[in-house]
Amino acid sequence: MAPVTTVAQVFDALQGAKAGASAFCTNFFPAHAKVQGWIDHGELLGELRDLSAFFLRKDRDFWHLYFCAANVAALQREVSAIPSLRTERVAVDLVGSEAVLGELLKVVESAGFQRYARLLRLARPNQSGQPQPSADGTEVLCADKTDCQAITDLLECAFDRYADQLPMLYEIEAAIEAHQILAVKCDRALAALLFFESQGFTSTIRYWAVAERFRSHRFGSALMRHYLAAQSAVRRFVLWVTADNENAVLKYRHYGYAPDGLVDHVLVNEMIRA
Amino acid sequence: MKALPEILKEIRPEFDFTVSSDFIADGMLDSFDLMTLVATLDKTYGISIQGTDIVPENFKNLQTIGALLRQCGVQA
């Protein structure tokens, strides 16, 4: 695969695969700014193939695979013929409703990938009677640039790099700049964080975590209450959570989140499993 | 036959789509919602929206979606 140097290359490739597609299939839903960030940091490779296009995005010590194809037959034929999928560590996400993902799962599994994790999207309407910020005196702050390493460490410790799309350092810096990482600190140490992205009327929680040694202090609750209370203009709250993380799912349900029907199957290749 | 605002309301009932001029920028439709919307429009109006037309510019607001539907032969 060759480095992608412009966002237009990505969208041209997508359009090429879509044109005249009988049953277009993809796992790539690119937002312009996100793709630009990947290109600026040299993270994105791409390859046009017959009736299809494939992209690999570098993430730490592995790659995320994205594809678009005119139909499932083209995907099956071409994905099996990409040499780097046998020599590199690669993970792939398949997103959609469970009912429509069956065929894609079979295709990707036939190319050597195995199921690794399943995530659910949860959504929460902005209800009346918003939670109020915690009254127990816990101070919730916006993280600052001195917190970057601690944020990275906490995310690496609390989440799964293959399943949870952990942010790169530049994404953490941008989120701090945008005041989208809330933090609780104890003696200047990062005890807990809530990392979110808001766009218009929708806000997405990307990560919510409490460092192990600071659990049972209700810091997570303080962060969530602060976050929900502060997003007064938001009408829809969403997030992704690992389906078998019952503790997390229960906590999100407590705050009014519920599955909205979208799932994300994460599969990894033999190089990761080895 | 369902009208466009009604279809949008079924996909994202929490939003009033008549007050926004940019559904994407306002966070009212994400990329997954766009897939659902295209499938629903195809089914509702008996059309097939081409892949090359599935770009954010065509789904910014009621006017741009209406223009896309007319381009696909749907009578307004």
Write out the DSSP string of A104-148. HHHHHHHTT-EEEEEEEEEEEE--SSPPPPPSS-PPPEE--GGGH
Residue A200: which domain range? 127-234
Tokens in use for A5?
């140097």
Q: Distance (Å, rounded) from C-alpha A231 to C-alpha A40? A: 31
Contacts of A125 by beta carbon, 8 Å cutoff, 6+ apart? A235, A236, A237, A256, B14
Give the chain A residue whose CA is nearest to the CA of B34.
A29
- Number of other CB atoms surrounding residue A273 within 10 Å: 11
Q: Are residues A100 and A134 in the same domain?
A: no
Residues 6+ apart with CB under 8 A from A63: A56, A57, A84, A88, A89, A90, A91
Please, what is the Cα angle at A41 between A158 and A34, to 5 degrees? 70
Q: Give residue-wise pLDDT tens across range A34-59.
A: 899 999 999 999 999 999 999 999 99
Contact list, A260 vs chain B (CB under 8 Å): none
A149 and A44 in a single domain? The answer is no
Closest Cβ opposite residue B27 in set A96, A125, A200: A200
Q: Are residues A98 and A20 in the same domain?
A: yes
Shortest distance, CA A185 to any CA of chain B (angstroms) = 31
As beta bridge partners, residue A199 has A202
Phi-psi group of A47: left, alpha or beta (phi > 0 → left; psi -120 to 50 → alpha; rest → beta): beta
Structural domains counted in chain A: 2
- Measure the CA–CA gap between A107 and A272, rounded to whole angstroms: 19
In B, minimum Cα distance to A261 occurs at B32
- Does residue A76 lie within any of the structural domains? yes
CB of A126 within 8 Å of a chain B CB? The answer is yes
pLDDT score at A232 = 87
Q: What is the CATH number of the domain that holds B57?
A: 1.10.1200.10
Antiparallel, parallel or unpaired: β A258-268 and A141-142:
unpaired
CB distance B52–A19 less than 8 Å?
A: yes
Is the domain of A22 the same as that of A67?
yes
Q: Is B14 on the interface with A (CB under 8 A)?
A: yes
- Same domain? For A162 and A94 the reply is no
pLDDT digits (tens, 9 = 90+) for B2-37: 899 999 999 998 899 999 999 999 999 988 888 789
Nearest chain B residue to A95 by CA distance is B32
Average pLDDT, chain A: 93
A248 in any annotated domain: no
In a domain, B63, yes or no: yes
Residue B64 domain flag: yes
Per-residue pLDDT at A72 exceeds 70 = yes
The answer to whether residue A15 scores a pLDDT higher than 90 is no
pLDDT (tens digit, 9 = 90+) per residue, A248-272? 999 999 999 999 989 999 999 999 9
Count CB pairs under 8 A between chains A and B.
51
Taking Cα atoms as reference points, which of A242, A208, A235 lies closest to residue A224?
A208
Look at residue A136 in the predicted model and tell me its pLDDT.
77
Contacts of A244 (CB under 8 A, 6+ apart): A118
Interface with A, mutate which of B52, B58, B59 (most A CBs under 10 A): B52
What is the domain-level CATH number for residue A79?
Answer: 3.40.630
Contact A63, A54 (CB under 8 A): no
CA-CA distance, A182 to A205, in Å (whole number)? 11
Does some domain include residue A11? yes
Given this model, what pLDDT does residue A139 score? 95
Between CA A153 and CA A172 the distance in angstroms is 12
Q: Which of A71, A123, A117 is nearest to A240 (CA)?
A: A123
A137 or A231: which leads in pLDDT: A231
Asked if residue B76 belongs to a domain, the reply is: no
A86: in domain: yes
For residues A22-31, average pLDDT: 82
Residue A55 forms beta bridges with which residues? A46, A66
- Give the span between the Cα atoms of A185 and A187, in whole angstroms: 6
DSSP single-letter state for residue B61: S
Q: Quote the pLDDT of residue A20.
A: 66
Assess whether pLDDT exceeds 50 at residue A128. Answer: no
Q: Which domain holds residue B52?
A: 4-71
- Residue A54 included in any domain: yes
Is A19 within 8 Å of B54 when comparing Cβ atoms? no
Q: Is residue A147 part of a domain?
A: yes
- Per the domain annotation, does A253 fall within a domain? no
Interchain contact, B15 vs A235, CB within 8 Å: yes
Same domain (yes/no): A214, A269: no
- Is B42 among the domain residues? yes
Residue B24 lies in a domain: yes
Residue B28 lies in a domain: yes
* Cα distance between residue A111 and residue A7, in whole Å: 28
Residues A40 and A113 in one domain: yes
Is residue A6 domain-shared with residue A108, that is, in the same domain? Answer: yes
B33–A contact, CB cutoff 8 A: no
**In a shared domain, residues A14 and A66:** yes
pLDDT tens digit sequence for B39-69: 889 889 988 887 677 778 899 999 999 999 9
Rounded CA separation A155/A164 (Å):
10
Number of structural domains (chain B) is 1
In one-letter notation, the amino acid at residue A13 is A
Which among A69, A48, A65, A49 has a CA at the least distance from the CA of A57? A65
Angle subtended by helix axes A7-18 and A32-40, to nearest 10: 130
Look at A201 and B15 and tell me if their CB atoms are within 8 Å. Answer: yes
Residues A57 and A31 placed together within one structural domain of the fold: yes
**Partners of residue B35 in chain A, C-beta under 8 Å:** 29, 96
- Encoding tokens for residue A113? 């990938």
CATH of the domain at A169: 3.40.630.30
Interface predicted TM-score (ipTM): 0.79
Closest chain A residue to B52, measured at CA: A15
